[in-house]
Amino acid sequence: MARSMRDIKRQIKSVQNTRQITKAMEMVAASKLRKAQEKAEAARPYSLKLKEVVSNIAAGSVDGIEHPMLVSRPVKKTAYLLVTSDRGLAGGYNANILRKVTMLIAERHTSKDEYALFVIGRKGRDFLRRREYPIVEEITELSDTPKFADIKSIAYSAVQQFEEGVYDELYICYNRFVNAITQEPTVDRLLPMDGVGKAKSHEANANYEYEPSPQGVLDVLLPKYAETLIYSAILDGKASELGAKMTAMGSATKNASKMIGELTLTYNRARQAAITQEITEIVAGANAQS
């Protein structure tokens, strides 16, 4: 049965209201994305300088330097730190990284005793909890521009437990920001940092004097460097989340506009048919009286 003009008009109004909401959400995401990008870029110089100093110590510039975070050991248990969002309406942002992580776990592990998960974000936590994955620690309700203090507890816990031998590997899983349209699901091995100590960076040519000793400095800097890498990944993930939201809401706004156009055309046709029917009935009535 054909819909009445009143139903079509009501649907047009509903889609127009939805378009207003998605357009506003797109603009908000675009504004927040700019701030998130600026914060991610501002954190990079600190990370790069830490890497330079750590590489200078660990790459053989000083003899006798050792640290458990630089040495690979037999892998008995692996930890994954997963970055997702607290809310939806972000396209495939969460689904893509969750699919990549669950496939990786299925390929690498045969038992839940072989791995554990540190989770940032409500979406990831709920997804993994429903499927009974072993979550050892979680953080939710992060702001769109998180501070290091907001994630320090989970970053410190993951790094500390690796140092203590609870886990033999630590991976960071997040969406790497390319641009507002593209976010790449990424899984990087964070610990051990065996690659840092194998070869000295060609760019790290500065000479340093270490107090109280190179080993003491390395003992302090390596955990901080690992935590900084985690924080940088989270900032990258937040920028990716906002880019995905902006793109998703932009697509929703375009689809709403297209739907409004189609419904308006349907409404006009129904209105034209109703007018034609009325004219036909008037002419038929006039002919009947003549």
Domains and CATH numbers, the chain: 5-27+250-289 (1.10.287.80), 28-247 (3.40.1380.10)
More confident position, 287 or 182: 182
- Longest Cα–Cα distance in the chain: 116
**Percent of the chain predicted with pLDDT > 70:** 91
- CA 147/CA 43 separation, integer angstroms: 11
- Confidence at residue 199, expressed as pLDDT on a 0 to 100 scale: 46
More confident position, 104 or 226: 104
pLDDT band at 206 (very low <50, low <70, confident <90, very high): low
* 136-174 burial: b if 16+ Cβ within 10 Å, else e: ebbbeebebbbeeebbeebbebbbebbbeeebbbbbbbb
- CA 210/CA 237 separation, integer angstroms: 34
- CA 174/CA 187 separation, integer angstroms: 7
pLDDT band at 180 (very low <50, low <70, confident <90, very high): confident
More confident position, 185 or 69: 185
pLDDT band at 63 (very low <50, low <70, confident <90, very high): low
- CA 185/CA 100 separation, integer angstroms: 7
- Which residue type, as a one-letter code, is found at position 14? S
Residues 6+ apart with CB under 8 A from 173: 80, 81, 82, 83, 97, 100, 101, 185, 186, 187
- Confidence at residue 65, expressed as pLDDT on a 0 to 100 scale: 64
- Confidence at residue 45, expressed as pLDDT on a 0 to 100 scale: 83
pLDDT band at 51 (very low <50, low <70, confident <90, very high): confident
